[in-house]
Each structure stands twice: as structure tokens, then as C-alpha cells.
Amino acid sequence: METGPISDNTTEASPYGGASVIAFVNEKGGGAKTTSCVNLAAAFAQRGQKVLCIDLDPQANATTALGVSAERAIEREAHCLLTMPRFPLERAITNTQIANLDFIPASARLADCNKTLVMEVGREGRLRSKLRDFYRSVLTEKYDAILMDCPPSLDLLSINALTAATHMIVPVTTKFYALKGMALLGEMVATLHEQLGATVKLLGILVTMFDKKTALDVTIYRLLKEKIEGEFGDYVFSTMITKSVVVSEAEAGGLPVLLREPDSRAARAYKELADELVARLGREIGKTAVASRPLAAARAN
Ligand SMILES: Nc1ncnc2c1ncn2[C@@H]1O[C@H](COP(=O)(O)OP(=O)(O)O)[C@@H](O)[C@H]1O
Ligand SMILES: [Mg+2]
């Protein structure tokens, strides 16, 4: 069993005591952000790490996927955290049925944040300051990793996540539009680095819902990998998640596939991905803000 922060040990770069804060982003919906976020959170928790997952999508899919009821989500949710300056992170946290995995749920009213916060000073950094306060406090039990599920748009909720994050993972399907979305994201990350002092780094691009029996998927995967490697660098995770009906069945049942069908191919892939992620984080020692340059290069496209 592993314990301790999942991190690259670049403590000056991490305001969270070395813990990794990972945002799952892509402005396209349906690319398996939520699925990847909850299953990776479960995979880390199973390895013995203390994990916090935060649902930042008003559609509240991660909340459903982790079996947290709407009633529980109303009292403790990301909305309070973002709109109420004195609402501390620990008050929004609830437990889940999975050992080592805590959660901050979402509900539809999270969508109001985009309007409520629009006139507020420091609106982009709300989540970051709550996380910093949480890690500074001596009274709270700390997490080794925090995984944030973002909405399918680059709105104020995603901006809050990216401003707070140490890393981001971009899940993509093997579709031609995948690279277009990455260019937009690259632009936004560059702006956040320049204007808000964000330090988020690209951890990797995750190919999901891959169907190796479909010739088109195979072709697009090859093109996608070539293009990403050419423009961004060695960022595509070698683990890919194949298409499998057990994933959506498990989600509908309020439990990640990793726990419902632990021997399924998808569950094994997410466990493998957790290993790859830890290795990647380890490899990063000494590097800072590597993603801003290669990602910004996407602007030229
Ligand atoms: N590997 C997979 N195989 C089959 N279906 C999947 C897989 N991953 C995700 N799905 C399904 O695809 C849909 C979109 O996934 P989701 O994680 O909600 O995407 P996003 O959060 O990016 O919008 C969901 O219904 C989910 O259950
Ligand atoms: Mg989602």
C-alpha cells in the first residue's frame, strides 16, 4: 500500500503541500471526463491514498456516478464554496461509499456561479484560495490527491479549476474535432498562466471510448497521436480506455466501474492509468510549467 501525496515533489510549485490537484478538462462533452475522474479517484483510493473528488459540473454527473443523493448535495456542495467567501472547503466535503475517497458534490444551481461571480473581485481564484486555506490549516486531514471534474465548457467553473490545479488531464475520443478543442484549451491555459499566475501543467491526453474493431477509430487514433506528439510533445498516455458497456452500466448504478466490475477491461485500464500517472508525476521532478509552451503552440493551428 502506498501512502503520502501523489506528487512530483516540486513543493515550491505546489501550494498544497506536494499534493497533486488534477483538473479533468475538455470543452467538448461526452469525452469521458466524468468517467475518468471518478474511476481514477477510485483507483487512487484503492491504492491507499487519501483522495478528494470535486464535482464542478452543474449536470452533477460525478455526484450521480458516486451515488451521492441530491439532498446531501444541497447542503454541501461546490456552489457554496465558490459563492460564499467564508464557506471553508471542509464544510463542503462529504464521504462516499468508497474507503479513502471523499467528495464535494454538485447540483444544478452550480450553473448560477457564472452569473453570481461575474462582478466579484478574484472570481477566478476562489477555489484556489479555499484549497490553499485548507492545506494551510493544521486542523484538517489532508488529501494526497484532489481530482476535479469540469463542465463541458471553458466557463468560470473550469477557469476556477484550472487556476487551482497543479495538473490537467484532457480526455479525448477518437474524433476529428478533438484537436480543435485542444487549441482553445491551450489558449486559455496560456492566458491563465500570464494573467492569473496559474501554474497548471498538462499531465496527459487520455484516449477514451476507443473501439479497436472500428477501422476509423484506429485511423483517427494514429492521426491524433501523430499530431499531438508533433505539436505538444509526448503527452498521449500509453494507456487507453476502450469502449465498453459496463462503464455506463456501472455509472447508472452509482458506483464506478472499478468497483462494480473490478475485473472488466475498463476497470483494469483505469488501474493501469493510475500507475502511469504516478510514474509521469515522478518524471516531472524539476520541471515547471512545461505545458504552457507546447499547449500555446496550438494557437498557431
Ligand atoms: N469506456 C467507455 N465505454 C463506454 N461508454 C463510456 C465509456 N466511458 C464513458 N462512457 C459513457 O459515455 C458517456 C459520456 O461520458 P462522460 O464521462 O459523462 O463524459 P463527459 O464528462 O466528458 O461529458 C456516459 O454515458 C458514459 O457512461
Ligand atoms: Mg461530465
Handedness of CA 127, 130, 133, 137 (dihedral sign): negative
Ligand 1 in contact with 266 (CB < 6 A)?
yes
Residues forming a β-bridge with 55: 149
Tell which atom from ligand 1 comes closest to the C-alpha of 251. 27
* Predicted local distance difference test score (pLDDT) of residue 14: 61
Ligand 1 in contact with 152 (CB < 6 A)?
yes
* Predicted local distance difference test score (pLDDT) of residue 198: 83
In the reported structure, the alpha carbon of residue 172 is separated from the centroid of ligand 2 by a whole-number distance in angstroms of 12
* Predicted local distance difference test score (pLDDT) of residue 178: 73
For residue range 17-60, list pLDDT tens digits in order. 889 999 999 888 899 999 999 999 999 999 999 999 999 999 99
Ligand 1 in contact with 31 (CB < 6 A)?
yes
Q: Distance between CA 154 and CA 126 in Å, rounded? A: 16
Strands 20-24 and 201-208: unpaired
In contact, 292 and 193? CB cutoff 8 Å: yes
In contact, 37 and 170? CB cutoff 8 Å: no
In the reported structure, the alpha carbon of residue 57 is separated from the centroid of ligand 2 by a whole-number distance in angstroms of 7
Nearest one of 37, 27, 200 to 125, comparing CA atoms: 200
Ligand 1 in contact with 247 (CB < 6 A)?
yes
Ligand 1 in contact with 252 (CB < 6 A)?
no
Mean pLDDT per 10-residue segment, the chain (301 residues): 51 73 91 96 95 96 91 79 90 94 93 82 90 89 94 92 94 79 75 83 91 86 83 87 92 90 96 94 50 37 34
Domain boundaries, the chain: 20-300
* Predicted local distance difference test score (pLDDT) of residue 298: 35
Residue 106, number of CB atoms within 10 A of its CB: 27
Ligand 1 in contact with 244 (CB < 6 A)?
yes
Third-level CATH fold of 20-300: Rossmann fold (3.40.50)
The C-alpha cell at 48 is: 491507499
Residue 2, number of CB atoms within 10 A of its CB: 10
Ligand 1 in contact with 150 (CB < 6 A)?
no
Backbone angles phi, psi at 195, to 5 degrees: -100, -25
Q: Whose CA is nearest to atom 15 of ligand 1?
A: 32
Alpha helix locations (H) across the chain?
A: 33-46, 61-65, 70-75, 78-83, 89-92, 113-116, 126-136, 156-164, 178-196, 215-231, 245-252, 257-260, 265-283, 292-296
Q: Which amino acid is at 55?
A: D
Q: Distance between CA 253 and CA 250 in Å, rounded? A: 5
In contact, 243 and 211? CB cutoff 8 Å: yes
The best mutation among 33, 175, 177, 247 to test binding of ligand 1, ranked by most ligand atoms within 8 Å of the C-beta, falls on 247
- Counting runs of H as helices and runs of E as strands, what totals does the chain give? 14, 7
* Predicted local distance difference test score (pLDDT) of residue 10: 40
**C-alpha separations of 171 from 69, 80, 191 in Å:** 26, 28, 21
